[in-house]
């Protein structure tokens, strides 16, 4: 038997009404939403189920909403006796992975990502940062293109290395625009601007990382019960204090998703279970390796 990894999606996977089916039918899932509401002191659940979309899209709402929904699906799945060998999550999804492996309690994680969203939102004034998905470019060429643009005073950096032929760049509006215009120099086919409120996973997020570091300093981080493969290193990590340091770096460092999946495959993982709304990671994993099995847990039927 090959090994199993649980993977959790990040921002962009959210939609109004997500998780309602399991809230209505699975008591353990309902408890997750109720715990999240209590931890935050307002009804996150009614925002998730009723919207409006414009509120759910705000980073400081999206982050706890996705975390709670992913963990609710996980709790519904736990009743089926699934055993996992590794966990990983894409950006924000790393926090869901940490709850899954016992590093953080759900209440603590929900409150942290709510704050993380606020720090990220406030670090760069609206309209000054941008992100874009670059298709078809290779990593080295894109890195040197971004470096040459950054040297002119307009920051642009690699933010998410998602899968072969899909890299997200992040930085100042001018920097990202320049990289998008010159994407062919890096062998890229095209660049698509993303609907985000800031330049996530770039050095422009250093201030948010400093605030997060202070917030995390008072939090109890347990060692993992299931090894985590971290975004920042694409290696497994088990120590709670190492994970705390990596979460601070994660805010301004690239998400090494392609490397993380390749690492998991090298460790013998042949089945990936994506837990949470949407199917973003399933698509990326299939582009990294067609031979692995990917299962989506994003509704009641899929759990059955």
CA 67 to chain centre: 10
**DSSP one-letter code for 201:** T
106-115 burial by CB neighbour count: b if 16+ within 10 A, else e? bebbbbbbbb
C-alpha count within 13 angstroms, C-beta hemisphere, residue 194: 23
Q: Is 91 labeled as catalytic in the residue annotation? A: yes
**DSSP one-letter code for 48:** H
The one catalytic residue in 101, 197, 201, 260 is: 201
DSSP code string of 205-229:
GHHHHHHHHHHHHTS--PPPSS-EE
Compute the C-alpha angle 70/289/283, nearest 5°: 40
The one catalytic residue in 39, 91, 96, 172 is: 91
In the three-class reduction of DSSP (H, G, I as helix; E, B as strand; rest coil), residue 204 is classed as: helix
Using alpha carbons, list the distances in angstroms from residue 8 to 186, 198, 272.
30, 22, 10
Task: Read off the tokens for 228.
Answer: 């985590």
Active site residues: 91, 201
């Amino acid at each position: 038997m090959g090994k199993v990894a649980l993977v959790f999606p990040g921002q962009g996977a959210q939609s109004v009404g997500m998780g309602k089916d399991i809230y209505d039918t699975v008591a353990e899932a309902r408890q997750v939403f109720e715990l999240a509401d209590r931890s935050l002191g307002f009804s996150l659940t009614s925002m998730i189920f009723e919207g409006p979309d414009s509120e759910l899209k705000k980073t400081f709402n999206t982050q706890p909403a996705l975390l709670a929904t992913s963990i609710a699906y996980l709790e519904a799945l736990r009743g089926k006796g699934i055993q996992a060998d590794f966990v990983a999550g894409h950006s924000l999804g790393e926090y869901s992975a940490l709850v899954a492996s016992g590093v953080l309690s759900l209440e603590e994680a929900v409150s942290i990502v709510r704050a993380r969203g606020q720090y990220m939102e406030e670090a760069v004034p609206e309209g000054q940062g941008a992100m874009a998905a670059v298709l078809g470019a290779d990593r080295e060429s894109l890195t040197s293109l971004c470096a040459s643009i950054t040297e002119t005073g307009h920051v642009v950096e690699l933010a998410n290395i998602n899968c072969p032929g899909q890299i997200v760049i992040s930085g100042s509006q001018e920097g990202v625009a320049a990289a998008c215009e010159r994407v062919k120099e890096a062998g890229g086919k095209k660049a698509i601007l993303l609907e985000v409120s800031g330049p996530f996973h770039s050095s422009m997020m250093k201030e948010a990382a400093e605030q997060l570091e202070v917030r995390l300093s008072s939090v109890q981080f347990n060692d993992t019960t299931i090894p985590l493969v971290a975004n920042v290193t694409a290696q497994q990590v088990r120590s709670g204090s190492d994970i705390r340091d990596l979460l601070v770096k994660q805010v301004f460092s690239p998400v090494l998703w392609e490397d993380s999946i390749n690492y998991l495959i090298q460790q013998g993982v042949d089945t990936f279970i994506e837990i949470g709304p949407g199917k973003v990671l399933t698509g990326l994993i299939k582009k990294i390796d067609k031979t692995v099995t990917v299962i989506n847990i994003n509704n009641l039927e899929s759990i059955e």
